[in-house]
Amino acid sequence: HSYASTFDLNFEVKFNEKWSAFVGLEADDETTDPTAIYNGAYIQYQPTDFFAVKLGDLTFSEGAFVAYYDYDDPADNAAGMKEHDIRGLEIDLAGFILGVGFGRGDNDWADEEGAKVYDVHAAYEFDYAGQHLRPYVDYKSFQTTQHNELHAGVEAGLSLGGFGFRAVYGFHADYLGDDGDVVEGQDWTSTAHAFLVEPTFEVGMFDIKTTAFYAFIDRGDAAEDVSDLDNGEIPEYFFVYAEPAFKLAEFIKFGIPVEYHTHTLDDDNETAATFDVGGRIYITPVENLEITAFGMVDVAVQDNEDDDALRFGLETVFSF
């Protein structure tokens, strides 16, 4: 029995045609009363439609899970790169994005006292006639010889009528430049190649969302909970999800999610896998109000009845 609460309050101020500013507050935790905290602020100078400069507290993420409901918060999970918060500068020029700054918040953990994380992010955004392409690279330094982090990859998408297809390739690496000094005789360099595909289809009163994800992970000599790959960014090495849904009325939709999860980053561990099936009811009685009720049965793939579970709950989201 658990609660989860999320609150976002964002202010956007336009001073004139070229200057604007943003300030955000956030509260997000598995409780009924999460603490609201500062979530970033920046000023923006945009003299033309194709050029802008931002200065302040910025956030970058790539290759988020969009179709699957349980991993769709890029603050926690992503196939490409979960959120990196920096304090610095961003330049947007005709689709090219460059961000440079020092890490802040959870992105500012360093190995040595007094060391300051810095982060460089680059991406190119291409959109044309329903086609989407976004290559990206992010380099994060912990200001130590052995501990540097790299994310790179590409996100692509296609939208044609009621059919949509989205794909992400993400490369993750940490402890780059490890020369064995972290632990004598051990190489802690860890890498992962992540692949995500999300086909969707909608026609009339019927739609279906699907997701397939697989990650090839090599931790080197690093143990679990030591490699940065164990920070939740990659939630599990393999899962598949499909949810056909039927609109029963203008504001009520019923979905039947069917899922397979490995629940582990270790592809040699087959004991944690489950097959999940259930129902989800989506109610949107008025604009900007969404109510989702769900019930799921999780069945352990192995003969381990202790892993069987029944889950149900309710989520309400409103915006103003």
DSSP assigned state of 113:
T
Cβ contacts of 213 within 8 Å, gap of 6 or more: 65, 79, 194, 195, 196, 197, 236, 238, 239, 240
Cβ contacts of 140 within 8 Å, gap of 6 or more: 84, 103, 107, 117, 118, 119, 120, 148, 149, 150, 151
DSSP H helices, 86-135, are none
Mean pLDDT by 10 residues, the chain (320 residues): 94 96 95 92 97 97 97 95 96 97 84 80 93 96 81 96 96 76 66 97 96 92 69 94 96 97 89 94 96 96 79 95
DSSP strands (E only) in 94-189: 96-103, 118-124, 126-128, 131-141, 148-160, 163-174
Q: What integer pLDDT is reported at residue 219 of this predicted model?
A: 82
Dist CA 141 CA 117 (whole Å): 6
Q: What integer pLDDT is reported at residue 245 of this predicted model?
A: 98
User: Beta strands 19-29 and 5-14: pairing type?
Assistant: antiparallel
DSSP assigned state of 35:
P
Q: What integer pLDDT is reported at residue 6 of this predicted model?
A: 95
Dist CA 94 CA 51 (whole Å): 6
* R_g (Cα) of the chain, nearest Å: 21
Q: Which residues of 111-142 are buried (b: 16+ CB within 10 A; e: fewer)?
A: eeeeeebbbebbbeeeeeeeeeebbbbbebbb
User: What is the torsion angle, in degrees rounded to the nearest 10, for the CA atoms of residue 65, residue 70, residue 75 and residue 76?
Assistant: -100
Q: Are 151 and 62 in contact (CB under 8 A)?
A: yes
Q: Evaluate if pTM is beyond 0.85.
A: yes
Query: What is the length of the chain?
Result: 320
Burial class (CB in 10 A: 0-12, 13-18, 19+), 255: buried
Q: What integer pLDDT is reported at residue 181 of this predicted model?
A: 52
Q: What integer pLDDT is reported at residue 185 of this predicted model?
A: 58
